Amino acid sequence: MPSNLKNPLRKFLIWKYKYISERQFVYILSILVGFLAGMGTVVLKNLTHYIRQIFELDFFSNYQNSLYFILPIIGLLLVYIIKQTWLKKHIGHGISTTLHAISKLNGIIPRYNIFAALITAPLTAGFGGSVGLQGPAVSVGSALGSNLAQLFRMSTKTRLLLVGCASAGAMASMFKAPIAAIIFAVEIFSLDIAFASLVPLLLASASAVLTSYMFLGTDVLLHFKLVDKFEVDHILFFIPLGIVTALASVYFSKVFFAITNFFKQFESRAIRLLIGGLAIGTMLYFIPPLYGEGYGIMNNLLKGDHLAAIGSTPFNFDLSNIWVVIALLLGISVFKAIAMTTTFGAGGVGGIFIPTLVMGSALGNACAKIINNLGLNIHVSESNFTLIGMAGLMAGVLHAPLTAIFLIAEITGGYELFVPLMVVAAISFAITKYYVSHSIYTMKLAERGELMTHDKDQNVLMVLDIDKVIETNFIILKPEMTLGEILKKAVAKSSRNHFPVVDNNHELLGVIRLDDIRHMMFDTNLYNTIDAASLMHADAGIIDYDTDNMNSIMDKFKNSGAWNLPVIKSGKYYGYISKSKLLTAYRQQLIKFTK
């Protein structure tokens, strides 16, 4: 921090300590965080909008199909140049990065995340990359919340809360849905629904929505007014919709991980850009609706205009044939996940939230058209199915059924569709959860044991730093050392009662405890006849630095009954962890979480 800012800040902190309670100050900060998150979202949306407007000029109208191929590649190239020459840092997916910061970094998010996504995401989406802006909005907002908390020296618990408030603010500002935003923060970021956290979330969400109204007016992303009432007789048709959206959610997740792993095999970012850019350009050339975020698809389907949603393609399809329309809508559903992940693989920056809604809208609308054209003399509301299909994909892909239900309910301006929303979201989430244990946001974190949940004990263990509990100042023995050498070079010079035995490759062979040699320490006849190899024995368990997390380490202490366990790193001896030091670190971290 610049020295000229230190004194004013210090004076303010002293004044705050005297005149403002901690709770009151948290409320003030939550309002400020909501405003900043709302502003970040407004800037993201406007930058993306202005970039798109450039390519909607008459000058470009005669080259529209060619632009669908070229523009995404140009956008990805610009993002690549910015990353390589200016940022020189990795830009992760917004929500996943925020979750990692909460679980492993005590909510500390680097300052560059404030502007990194703010610049690169509009370039990616504005030039046609098939990604959304919700993830980047959360990234910008959470970075603002984290750095604001650091600026005012707030506790770890408050810092985590403000990150959650910023995430809720970004969601509220994006969709003008403040209640769904709070549920999103609670469901995705595992925040507590207690008075201490609920009031700041409410204030941040309301502040962000007001900010959005102030700068963007009453315009909303999804233009919809509920016309068709929910008919109880149609409830059975929502059961297959729930199953279809569940299968689509599983497909979405599997495709995401498969394509992501495919691009990981190329170490060069330039090669990823080349392969991904050509692939996304080709897909957008043949399927133009995949261009950009996809709000046009959703809004046109909600208005009942499927021709505008599909747009013009290089092929002369007979769009008067409803089954051709249905096939094209299903094609959009299938390829949206591929186009989105390919954009990420090529180096683009964006989110998966809105592509999920696009896929769900096309799928729900196609399902309604199939039912209406089977000759069963049944007519279901295509706009309602479009909305509920969005909720089904959201519940499955994001593992966020409550967010899905309340977001769509708020978008429709009421709760007329609450029952079918609940049915579809529940079915989609339950089936998807069976086949895909974690969402795209949380899969990698869960595999590394870094996923924050509503279990406080697990969360405290998760944020513990293994390096802070490993002790490396143990005297090491060689297997050929005699008893006399052990006593002279190790026992006499150490206050420890554990002595690891390692070979010339530093691999752990065993351990000698003081109790193992106590009965022979004063028998000088044994000093040259017994060596470490004959005295050592296996320890009660071994901790692997590379694979074990704090939860599994605690289980190993519990199952072995040991008070000290050796640690190996990359197959080599590294140090020891004692149960007493681990429990002390746990208690200290628990205090940070609860104070």
Calculate the average pLDDT of the chain: 82
pLDDT digits (tens, 9 = 90+) for 443-475: 666 655 555 555 555 555 566 677 788 888 888
Asked if 511 contacts 566 with a C-beta cutoff of 8 angstroms, the reply is yes
* 363, pLDDT greater than 80: yes
Distance CA 178, CA 186 (A): 13
pLDDT higher for 61 or 294?
Answer: 294
Sheet strands side by side (includes 543-544): 470-471, 572-578, 564-569, 543-544
Distance CA 535, CA 106 (A): 44
Confidence of residue 486 (pLDDT cuts 50, 70, 90): confident
What are the structure tokens assigned to 151, written together?
């600026």
Distance CA 180, CA 220 (A): 15
3-class state of residue 500 by DSSP:
strand
* 499, pLDDT greater than 80: yes
* pLDDT at residue number 205: 92
Q: Which CATH superfamily is domain 458-594 in?
A: CBS-domain (3.10.580.10)
* pLDDT at residue number 580: 79
pLDDT digits (tens, 9 = 90+) for 249-263: 999 999 998 998 899
Query: For 3-216, CATH number?
Result: 1.10.3080.10
pLDDT, mean of residues 305-311: 81
Tell me which of 15-24, 305-314, 521-530 is least confident. 15-24
Asked if 407 contacts 378 with a C-beta cutoff of 8 angstroms, the reply is no
pLDDT higher for 190 or 285?
Answer: 285
* 594, pLDDT greater than 60: no
Report which of 541, 555, 490, 542 is spatially closest to residue 516, judged by C-alpha positions.
490
Backbone angles phi, psi at 566, to 5 degrees: -75, 155
* pLDDT at residue number 92: 67
Q: How far is CA 470 from CA 23, 32, 288, 465, 544, in A?
A: 37, 40, 55, 9, 12
Domain residue ranges of the chain, discontinuous segments joined by + = 3-216, 232-451, 458-594
Q: Do the domains at 232-451 and 458-594 have one common CATH topology?
A: no
Asked if 424 contacts 395 with a C-beta cutoff of 8 angstroms, the reply is yes
pLDDT, mean of residues 525-550: 82
* pLDDT at residue number 424: 94
* pLDDT at residue number 246: 95
Report which of 418, 417, 413 is spatially closest to residue 218, judged by C-alpha positions.
413
* 334, pLDDT greater than 80: yes
Tell me which of 27-36, 390-399, 520-529 is least confident. 520-529
What DSSP letter does each residue of 346-358 carry, written as one string? TT---BSHHHHHH
Rg of the chain on CA atoms, in Å: 29
pLDDT digits (tens, 9 = 90+) for 557-573: 888 878 888 888 888 88
**Percent of the chain residues topping a pLDDT of 90:** 17
* pLDDT at residue number 566: 87
What pairing do the DSSP bridges indicate for beta strands 470-471 and 572-578? antiparallel
pLDDT, mean of residues 52-60: 67
pLDDT, mean of residues 120-144: 87
* 58, pLDDT greater than 60: no
pLDDT higher for 571 or 441?
Answer: 571
Tell me which of 50-64, 114-128, 158-172, 371-385 is least confident. 50-64
Distance CA 266, CA 268 (A): 6
Distance CA 283, CA 129 (A): 11
Tell me which of 243-252, 382-391, 413-422 is least confident. 413-422
**Percent of the chain residues topping a pLDDT of 70:** 87
Residue with tokens 């003008």: 176
* 218, pLDDT greater than 80: no
Q: How far is CA 544 from CA 80, 445, 458, in A?
A: 37, 18, 19
Beta-carbon count within 10 A of 378 CB: 11
pLDDT higher for 490 or 589?
Answer: 490
Distance CA 545, CA 553 (A): 10
**232-451 fold:** Clc chloride channel (1.10.3080)
* pLDDT at residue number 593: 55
Asked if 267 contacts 62 with a C-beta cutoff of 8 angstroms, the reply is no
* pLDDT at residue number 461: 59
